[in-house]
Amino acid sequence: MSECLFCKIVAKEIPAEIVHETGRTLAFRDINPQAPTHVLVVPKQHHADAAALAKADDGLADDVLKTAHDVAVQEGVAEEGYRIVFNTGPGAGQTVFHVHAHVLGGRSLTWPPG
């Protein structure tokens, strides 16, 4: 995916503030944070959205969720509470079509969102 922004971040062609990395995932700070903690977790392998990630059926979705939790612990928001959000499709607000989990915390998160 030569034109994918997040693939370029994974390949270290575009700089990002990386906060956590595993063999299959990368977590970095969102450049437009919506909460004091706002980190994006992406699989290093390209999948367009959460539906495509689920269809991959190789444990990668589990790895993304585990990394999201590890980030919440590392950022100090796990005990207080945090939100993991996957926007799937343009109607849901997805603007980069490489699946990514938003890890949000550090403030009260109201419901419903949006």
* Residue 69 falls in the annotated catalytic set: no
Q: Cα separation of 56 and 79, whole Å?
A: 31
Q: Residue count of the chain, please give it.
A: 114
- DSSP β-bridge partners for residue 39: 29, 103
Q: Cα separation of 56 and 64, whole Å?
A: 13
Q: Cα separation of 42 and 65, whole Å?
A: 10
- Of the residues 47, 98, 100, 102, which is catalytic? 100
| Catalytic residue ranges | 100
